[in-house]
Amino acid sequence: MPEATLKDILSEHTKEGELYLKLPNSWVECFACGHRCKVPPDKDGICKVRFNRHGILFVPYGYVSGIAIDPIEKKPFFHAYPGSRTLSFGMLGCDYHCSFCQNWNISQSLRDLHANSSIQEIHGEEIIRLAVQNKVPIITSTYNEPLITSEWAAEVFKLAKQTGFITSYVSNGNATPEVLDYLQPWIDLYKVDLKSFHQKAYGQMGGVLQNVLDTIESLYKRGKWVEVVTLIIPGMNDSNEELTDIARFIQSISPDIPWHVTAYHQDYKMTVEDFTPVATLIRAADIGYHEGLHFVYTGNCPGLTRNYENTYCYSCNEILIERRGFQILRNRISNGTCFHCKTKIAGRWI
């Protein structure tokens, strides 16, 4: 008997999806992500982990590719329960194929023969039990793109809500209104990557810029706590013009949305100069503040970017949260306000 492939194994860890429509002649239309694949019988969607069998869309279910306890700052959320830990779980696959992916073993597992990943069968109840045992207040769907595995995340999050957990997504933001409606009751915090402000760059990753912009706006209007991350890649998205466009867009939704500008390091197929210079991160952060954002943070270079890891009151300029990397050194936010001038600081505070 030939050994089962990863594709075979994943096919056995599925159930019928909820985020799709049946079309004539056994086609289906999936709307878990912005690709809205119309999938003929016996074919896969672009993500390769959702597939049509005899006119039914099967979707990932009942496994994780990884599960770990992380600081919430690692996701990164800087304005949500600072200093808390989250139980993070992920599945396999992605709707993008970014050449610089820092999680490519997981995200590209069915596209790239060199990707090395495996899965562990698990029930939603076991994930909750692990979170309870480890006394974490937050459960996060991350590592792969959670939108494409939303039925599984929703199942876990429904159980999580019964037990009083906070829930979060770490996502590329290629959503649809339907998937955001579906997740609305179950999700509290949402991190979106805004990787570029040019459709050409998004096209190379397999994405659509406008979908991401719409997602950020929609999440904000839905009352979710949103933080935006831009991985700054030298030569790709580090011009003053592009950084200004990104900052202006975020500011137009709300100056209270934190913007993380994080350092790239060589990974996967992207081999441009290694590590984003610290000066570039500081320039990006300065642009964010100049465009009126209240909270801009540098990432992936702890201790190297002056005070750009800290939270300051945008009204009186007092230091509110002092950080180094994922560590909270001091937190002076009191009842969601600046301890000094009482200005309300946007976020979800303990």
Contact set with ligand SF4 (CB under 6 A): 30, 32-33, 35-37, 45-47, 50, 95, 148
Residue with the two structure tokens 């979710």: 224
Minimum distance from residue 36 beta carbon to ligand SF4 (Å): 5
Non-local (6+) Cβ contacts of 223 within 8 A are none
CA distance 1 to 9: 15
Q: How close are the terminal C-alpha atoms of the chain, in Å?
A: 55
**Which CB atom, from 219 or from 338, has the smaller least distance to ligand SF4?**
219
Q: Which of 120, 163, 161, 170 is nearest to 140 (CA)?
A: 170
**Which CB atom, from 32 or from 209, has the smaller least distance to ligand SF4?**
32
**Which CB atom, from 86 or from 211, has the smaller least distance to ligand SF4?**
211
Q: Which amino acid is at 318?
A: E
Minimum distance from residue 58 beta carbon to ligand SF4 (Å): 10
**Which CB atom, from 50 or from 323, has the smaller least distance to ligand SF4?**
50
CA distance 276 to 285: 13
Residue in the shown chain whose Cβ atom is closest to ligand SF4 = 45
**Which CB atom, from 157 or from 295, has the smaller least distance to ligand SF4?**
157
SS3 of residue 125 by DSSP: helix
Largest CA distance in the chain: 71
Minimum distance from residue 247 beta carbon to ligand SF4 (Å): 29
**Which CB atom, from 20 or from 197, has the smaller least distance to ligand SF4?**
20
**Which CB atom, from 96 or from 225, has the smaller least distance to ligand SF4?**
96
Q: Torsion-angle region of residue 243: left (phi > 0), alpha (psi -120 to 50) or beta?
A: alpha
Q: Which amino acid is at 138?
A: I
> Which ranges of 163-235 does DSSP label H, i.e. alpha helix?
177-183, 199-205, 209-221
**Which CB atom, from 34 or from 347, has the smaller least distance to ligand SF4?**
34
**Which CB atom, from 92 or from 131, has the smaller least distance to ligand SF4?**
92
Minimum distance from residue 182 beta carbon to ligand SF4 (Å): 12
Minimum distance from residue 151 beta carbon to ligand SF4 (Å): 10
Minimum distance from residue 277 beta carbon to ligand SF4 (Å): 35
86, β-bridge pairs: 70, 138
Rg of the Cα atoms in the chain: 20
Residue 185 CA, chain-centre distance (Å), reads 18
Q: Which of 220, 222, 230 is nearest to 76 (CA)?
A: 230
Minimum distance from residue 32 beta carbon to ligand SF4 (Å): 4
Minimum distance from residue 148 beta carbon to ligand SF4 (Å): 4
Minimum distance from residue 149 beta carbon to ligand SF4 (Å): 8
SS3 of residue 86 by DSSP: strand
The 10 Å CB-count burial string (b at 16+, else e) for 84-97 is bbbbbbbbbbbbbb
Q: What letter would DSSP give residue 199?
A: H
Report how many helices (DSSP H) and strands (DSSP E) the chain contains, helices first.
Answer: 9, 21
